[in-house]
Amino acid sequence: MQLTTNFHALKEWAVAVNAIENGNTIMLLRKGGIHERNGQFQIAHEQVLLYPTYEHQQDFLLKAEYANLVCPVTSGWHPETVRIGSWAEITDILPVSDESVVNALLPFHIWNEYFISDRLKWKPRQPLYILLLRAYKLPQAQEIPYNTKYGGCKSWIDLTQSFDIPTTEPVLSDSRYTQLVAEIRGIVGEQVFWKENGE
């Protein structure tokens, strides 16, 4: 699959970006950071570069094998440059409010039960959104300068530079990705929110 030029990026914990790039998960969990237009929840962009963040990573919210990968940083810290090593197509958005359903998805992501409970309790009337990402590694990771406009609690950012990306191979094979999506959607059931905004 080819993404010719892109400067849209999705911010996510560095440990989660690494897990996606390594094929250990295809799933992100979100409460905030989803736009609402005409009464419909929508993502900002379907194809995004993955932008790793460090400041808000909390090891106690992660499974043990991922908690060990987090290096704590002080509030307000940011790297001088940010490594962009992959991009992803967001293929599915699955809204879930039932804690038992979310708990059944534990094998498919990097977070622990405490994180799930915490997310469900925050804005309890709003469902937890499960984003499924088909990831593609860049042929060569690029280091970009940090910009203050990239900071803050926001999920979607536009980078000051665009990326020209040649044809890239997905992290997971078609069959493996399709299998994982089918298993996850089988657990969630029919509550699938389809993207309608396009790119």
In a domain, 113, yes or no: yes
In a domain, 195, yes or no: no
- pTM, two decimals, is 0.87
Nearest to 163 by CA among 88, 89, 87: 87
pLDDT bracket for residue 14 (50, 70, 90): very high
Count of CB atoms situated within 10 Å of the CB of 135:
23
Facing residues of 93 across strands?
131, 193
Mean pLDDT (the chain) is 85
In a domain, 197, yes or no: no
pLDDT bracket for residue 197 (50, 70, 90): very low
In a domain, 47, yes or no: yes
In a domain, 24, yes or no: yes
Q: Residue 42: what pLDDT? A: 62
Single-letter amino acid code for the residue at 151: G
Instruction: Write the CATH number for 46.
Output: 2.30.130.30
Q: Residue 87: what pLDDT? A: 93
The answer to whether 96 and 190 are in contact (CB under 8 A) is no
In a domain, 74, yes or no: yes
When pLDDT is averaged across residues 89-109 and rounded to a whole number, the result is 91
Distance between CA atoms of residues 102 and 80, nearest Å:
36
In a domain, 25, yes or no: yes
**In this predicted model, what pLDDT tens digit does every residue of 20-69 receive, in sequence order?**
999 999 999 988 655 555 444 567 688 899 999 998 888 999 999 999 99
H-assigned helices in the chain: 14-21, 64-67, 99-104, 113-121, 174-188
Q: Residue 39: what pLDDT? A: 46
**SS3 for 25?**
coil
The answer to whether 129 and 184 are in contact (CB under 8 A) is no
Residue holding tokens 């708990």? Answer: 103
In a domain, 87, yes or no: yes
**Res. 90: pLDDT tops 90:** yes
What are the structure tokens assigned to 82, written together?
A: 């940010």
Which secondary structure element, helix H or strand E, spans residue 71, and what is its range? Answer: none
Q: Structural domain of residue 130, as residue ranges? A: 5-188
**Res. 105: pLDDT tops 90:** yes
H-assigned helices in 5-51: 14-21
Looking at the 3D structure of the chain, how many domains does it have? 1
Distance between CA atoms of residues 69 and 71, nearest Å:
7
Q: Residue 198: what pLDDT? A: 42
Distance between CA atoms of residues 195 and 90, nearest Å:
9
- Report which of residues 113 and 42 the model is more confident about: 113
**In this predicted model, what pLDDT tens digit does every residue of 136-194 receive, in sequence order?**
999 889 899 999 888 887 888 899 888 777 778 899 999 999 999 999 999 998 555 54
